[in-house]
Amino acid sequence: MKGKNRKKLDPQATWPRLIPEEEREEILRYLENRFGIPPEIFNSYEFLATAKNYWLFVRTPHLRTLEKLRIQTAGLLFLRKVSGYLKPTTATLQRFGVYARRGILDLDRYTLDRLRLEKKIPFTCSLEPGYVILRCEGKIWGCGLYLPEKLISYLP
Amino acid sequence: MAETPETADQYFERYREIIPDYPAFLEALSQPLPLYFRLNTLKVRDPSPVVEGLSRQGFRVEPVPRVPWFFRVEPREFSLGNTEEYYLGLIYPMTLSSSLPVYALEPRPGELILDLCAAPGSKTTQIAQHTEDQAVIVANDRRLDRITALVANLRRLGIACVITTVYRGEQYPLEVSFDKVLVDAPCSGEGRYRKGYEGELLFQKEGRTNLSGIQKGLIVRAYDLLKPGGILVYSTCTINPEENEAVVDYLLRKRQAELLDWEAPLPSHPGLTEWAGRPFHPHLVKAKRFYAHEIEAVGFFVAKLRRVA
Ligand SMILES: C[S@@+](CC[C@H](N)C(=O)[O-])C[C@H]1O[C@@H](n2cnc3c(N)ncnc32)[C@H](O)[C@@H]1O
């Protein structure tokens, strides 16, 4: 059991790179268009990137200095690039999903439990296909993917 | 190898003179440790849904007076780790007194803070919460497996202001200087001990490691990692003066540090200025001792210092 739910850390991890302004704008636009999350929410955060992932890290004038340290992780895993699409992580949605105004799927307890158990269930709703925020009884659970007639869970 | 096992009562006898109301202390050791959690205010401001959710699962939950965001839970034998509130990162189970070093540290947004012995992250996550995720925290531990657990906690609570590193604290690279450093040192953990429930006493572990030596190495390096005027907090969850006052006294002799007063939300006693016939720096009265039976949690020692030069 030990470590089963834990991602292995990479002992060779290197510092993620700071991304150019256009790339940041693109991410902010996606979060606003898809979920209605206002860009200002992230004003005090920097977006960093590794090969397939974006990381959220507090904005600081000390970033260059800190790069002298050999790190394991920097910040919160924010979004992943999945076959050309941006996918928000469950951690991000649990933290910042409260600011969302759309792209939210309210599930009853029974459907949530079934989704968690089966990972993929037949489902129809009026939302545009794409990543959704899973919410149940007022609590945000994380990220799902809605495709015509099915719902996929990305909950850990 | 077989030695006559010392009973807990015999073991703690050596502290009879320094522990206030010693019989009450021994009495507390026969109770299991009280259970507490901290509300993760980065995700929820209003505790009521959490309190109600836990009540539905059979817990009795009460806010702790004077320590914001902390709640006491019964039955204490239950685990909070399997609850939905835990899974969603709304709560962080930790003993009440583990919050004290962060009170001494007084972290502020924008500060560069090193948590030298950080895993599994009770204090790292509390610093993040106190600063609204706006301090810059470097969380270090010498063990990669324990840093992995810390990273899982950061993800669970949704914290974005932390960098993690794996160095031996005594050899932490000096390239970066910090506003504040917390040394929540590896220790013998006497403050956790509850008869038959929790913790081991040093004699049971055969005490082969030189903890006091390790702690001295850590506190001196922590000082050297500070900017001039920077703040150092040294804490342990043990009663043993050799791991507490003697370690701080060692730093005071090796470096230009001064002990500071600080305000604690729980009742405490001044640090010792003498132990086993050996005097310590008179300012050690500014350090604080917290005893298990008075605070109904793990016993703690906390000293706050400033780098002078
Ligand atoms: C008391 S625990 C820390 C608890 C943690 N601060 C918290 O609040 O969750 C002490 C930690 O120090 C780590 N440690 C032991 N020796 C160390 C060293 N030489 N350098 C850095 N960390 C060390 C241990 O792996 C352990 O995780």
pLDDT tens per residue across span B281-297: 999 999 999 999 999 99
Can you name the CATH fold of B8-33+95-307? Answer: Rossmann fold (3.40.50)
C-alpha distance from residue B196 to each of A67, A102, B81, B199 (Å)? 47, 53, 22, 8
**pLDDT tops 90 at residue A8:** no
Q: Where in B155-256 does DSSP place strands (E)? A: 162-165, 178-184, 226-236
A41 touches chain B (CB under 8 A): no
How much is the pLDDT for A7?
Answer: 55
So what's the pLDDT on residue B208? 55
Distance from CA of A66 to the nearest CA of B (A): 7
**Residue B5: which pLDDT band, with cuts at 50, 70 and 90?**
low
The reply to whether ligand 1 has any atom less than 6 angstroms from the CB of B142 is yes
Q: Which ligand 1 atom minimizes the distance to the CA of B186?
A: 10
Instruction: Supply the ipTM of this predicted assembly.
Output: 0.92
Lowest mean pLDDT among A3-12, B144-153, B178-187, B255-264: A3-12
User: What pLDDT was estimated at residue B202?
Assistant: 58
Distance CA A72, CA A74 (A): 7
Which of B99, B137, B142, B236 should be mutated for ligand 1, with most atoms under 8 A from CB?
B142
CA pair distance A61, B44, nearest whole angstrom: 29
pLDDT attached to residue B47: 97
Query: Residue B2: pLDDT above 50?
Result: no
pLDDT on residue B7? 82
pLDDT over threshold 80, residue A24: yes
Question: What is the pLDDT averaged over residues A30-45?
Answer: 98
pLDDT of A5 over the 50 cut: no
Partner residue opposite B158 with nearest CB, options A7, A71, A76: A76
The partner residue sitting opposite A68, judged by closest CB among B136, B166, B176, is: B176
Distance from the alpha carbon of residue B150 to the mean position of ligand 1, in angstroms:
11
For residue A11, pLDDT beyond 60: no
pLDDT of residue A6: 52
Q: Which chain B residues contact residue A95 at CB under 8 A?
A: 42-43, 89, 158, 160
Token pair belonging to A73: 């992780």
Computed over every residue of chain A, the mean pLDDT equals 92
Q: Where are the domains of chain B?
A: 8-33+95-307, 34-94
Q: Per-residue pLDDT for B109 more than 50? A: yes
Rounded alpha-carbon distances, angstroms, from residue B50 to A100, A156, B283: 21, 21, 43
The 10s digit of each residue's pLDDT in A61-92 is 999 999 999 999 999 999 999 988 999 999 99
Pocket test for ligand 1, best of B95, B99, B141, B168 (most atoms within 8 A of CB): B141
**In the structure, what pLDDT confidence band is assigned to residue B85 with cuts at 50, 70 and 90?**
very high
Q: Number of residue pairs across A and B with CB atoms under 8 Å?
A: 100
CA B26 to CA B205: how far, in whole Å? 21
pLDDT of residue B210: 87
Q: Measured between alpha carbons, how far is B246 from B142 in angstroms, rounded to an integer?
A: 23
Percent of chain A predicted with pLDDT > 90: 88
Percent of chain A whose pLDDT exceeds 70: 92
* CB spacing of B136 vs A60 below 8 angstroms: yes
Kindly list the distances between the CA atom of residue B205 and the CA atoms of A29, B42, B91, B96, B189, in Å, as whole numbers in the listed order: 57, 39, 32, 26, 11
Q: Does A122 sit behind a cis peptide bond, omega within 30 degrees of 0 on the bond before it?
A: no
C-alpha to C-alpha distance for A91 and A17, rounded to whole angstroms: 21
pTM: 0.95
Nearest atom in ligand 1 to B168's CA? 20
Mean pLDDT (whole number) for A20-41: 97
* Separation of alpha carbons A45 and A92, rounded Å: 13
Ranking A36-40, A77-81, B187-191, B223-227 by mean pLDDT, the lowest is: B187-191
Topology annotation, domain B34-94: Alpha-Beta Plaits (3.30.70)
- Residue position matching structure tokens 């001039």: B228
Q: State the pLDDT confidence band at B1, using cuts at 50, 70 and 90.
A: very low
d(CA A101, CA A105): 11
What is the identity of the amino acid at B60? R
A17-18 β-sheet, strand order: A17-18, A45-49, A53-58, A76-82, A85-88
Report pLDDT for B209.
73
| Helices (H) then strands (E): counts for chain B | 11, 15
Q: What angle do CA B38, A75, B117 make, to 5 degrees?
A: 60
Q: Answer yes or no: do B160 and A58 touch at CB < 8 A.
A: yes
Residue B156: its pLDDT value, please? 98
User: By alpha-carbon position, which residue is closest to atom 13 of ligand 1?
Assistant: B117
CB B254 within 8 A of CB B248: no
Stretch A29-42: mean pLDDT: 98
What pLDDT, on the 0 to 100 scale, is given for residue A1?
34
Q: Check whether B200 has a pLDDT greater than 80.
A: no
At residue B205 the predicted structure's pLDDT band, cuts being 50, 70 and 90, is low
pLDDT tens, position by position, B10-58? 899 999 999 999 999 999 999 999 999 999 999 999 999 999 999 999 9
